Amino acid sequence: MRQALKNFSIWFERNIGWHRVGLAVGVIVFSIAAFVLYRILRNISLAEVGNALSNVTWTQLALAGFFVALAYLTLTFYDYFALKTIGRNEVPYHIAAIGGFTSYSIGHNVGFTAFSGGAVRYRIYSASSGLSAIEVAKLCFIAGLTFWLGNIAVLGIGMTIHPEAASMVDHLPPAVNRAIGIAALTGLASYTSWVSVKPRVIGRSDWSVTLPAGKLTILQIVIGIIDLTCCALAMYVLMPAKPELDFISLAVIFVSSTLLGFASHSPGGLGVFDAAMLIALPQFPREQLLASLLLFRLFYFIMPFAISLVIIAIRELVLDIKPPVEKMPDPHHVNASKVVEEAAKK
């Protein structure tokens, strides 16, 4: 049985590949969401959407901008934490901030964040700090781990407290969603305990990564929770005043919709995120909710994307003048070279 599974795995990777499965799933999710979104918005009044936009107060806009800025500030610590984890302690925070901010803001808008964000990171860290492609891959893995730990924590807490909110998205009974939330928190606690017992290494040779230990894993979870909480708060302050909706319920719906958008690989979860939010919040007038979603996209996607393009353009001009940083030589290689030189002299 084990050999049969191994043979099937080899055949599957050679002939199909998980990347094609992921792409197919993304296309299916996007297609369904696009159809649903069309059904929801086909009779919408653009005049009423414009009226809803004009009714948004400056206080709401200022608060939304503040929470989005905090969210992106938190994203910079994804990279800074990952750099410390892979042993590149010499890379200063301001480089990590540029790498984290630009990679996420561009990845969010381009889609396929793992690849687009990884390419941006490689350009920044290889030129400024001499990181290799393997080191950047490790950095992306640790940053992604922080993201998923935060998502599991937020969804686990939210689905345990307000399972009805999750039911608005996945249409499962509240009891099932509460069980899923408890299972998620149990799994998170088990993982934290697992990495606390002893150093856990995954991968082989140069591709191996030592997972953050217990206390550092808790720090990862906290970083992820702060990031997602700030994003949800930005959406929350832009929501229509009536009918009332508690923050935890919105946070569960928001994070669930975000993950669906992430699974689609569409730029910014376009269509998928919006359809999920509109379906999960039928109590709000469609025009008003659409106005809130448009403003959130402006603050969280478009504005950071524009700022990132400016940062990268300025940085590329500077790199044309300043020579790139060379990768630090391997100390073992240096010692070996010295031994060879001394032997040759003798």
Residue 248 lies in a domain: yes
Query: Structure tokens of 32?
Result: 């369904």
**DSSP summary character for residue 171:** -
CA distances 234 to 66, 71, 263, 269, 297, Å, are 8, 9, 22, 17, 11
Domain count, the chain: 1
Q: For residue 224, what pLDDT is reported?
A: 92
CA distances 277 to 95, 169, 259, 295, 321, Å, are 35, 8, 12, 14, 47
Q: For residue 61, what pLDDT is reported?
A: 94
CA-wise closest residue to 240 among 189, 191, 296, 186: 296
Residue 79 lies in a domain: yes
Residue 12 lies in a domain: no
Q: For residue 334, what pLDDT is reported?
A: 42
Alpha carbons 320 and 305: distance in angstroms, whole number: 23
The reported pTM is: 0.79
Residue 21 lies in a domain: no
Residue 17 lies in a domain: no
Residue 213 lies in a domain: yes
292-325 b/e with 16+ CB inside 10 Å = b? bbbbbbebbbebbbeebeeebeebeeeeeeeeee
Q: Which pLDDT tens digit goes with each residue over 236-259?
A: 999 988 888 889 999 999 998 888
Alpha carbons 243 and 255: distance in angstroms, whole number: 20
Q: For residue 16, what pLDDT is reported?
A: 63
Task: Judge residue 64's burial from the number of C-beta atoms within 10 Å of its C-beta, 0-12 exposed, 13-18 middle, 19 or more buried.
Answer: buried
Q: What is the pLDDT along the chain (346 residues), one digit of tens a residue?
A: 556 555 655 655 566 654 555 556 556 655 665 655 556 566 676 777 788 888 889 999 999 999 999 999 999 999 999 999 988 889 999 999 999 999 888 887 776 676 778 888 888 888 878 888 899 989 999 999 999 999 999 999 999 999 999 898 888 999 999 999 999 999 999 999 999 998 888 877 777 888 999 899 999 999 999 999 999 999 999 998 888 888 999 999 999 888 887 776 666 667 788 888 888 898 888 888 989 999 999 999 889 989 998 988 888 787 766 655 454 444 444 444 443 344 444 4
CA distances 68 to 11, 16, 273, 295, 302, Å, are 45, 39, 17, 12, 12
Q: For residue 199, what pLDDT is reported?
A: 85
Residue 339 lies in a domain: no
Residue 45 lies in a domain: no
CA distances 284 to 48, 279, 292, 295, Å, are 13, 10, 11, 16
**Residue given tokens 């640790």 in the structure block:** 142
Q: From start to end of the chain, where are the E strands?
A: 201-202, 209-210
Q: For residue 299, what pLDDT is reported?
A: 92
Domain of residue 278: give its range.
Answer: 57-326
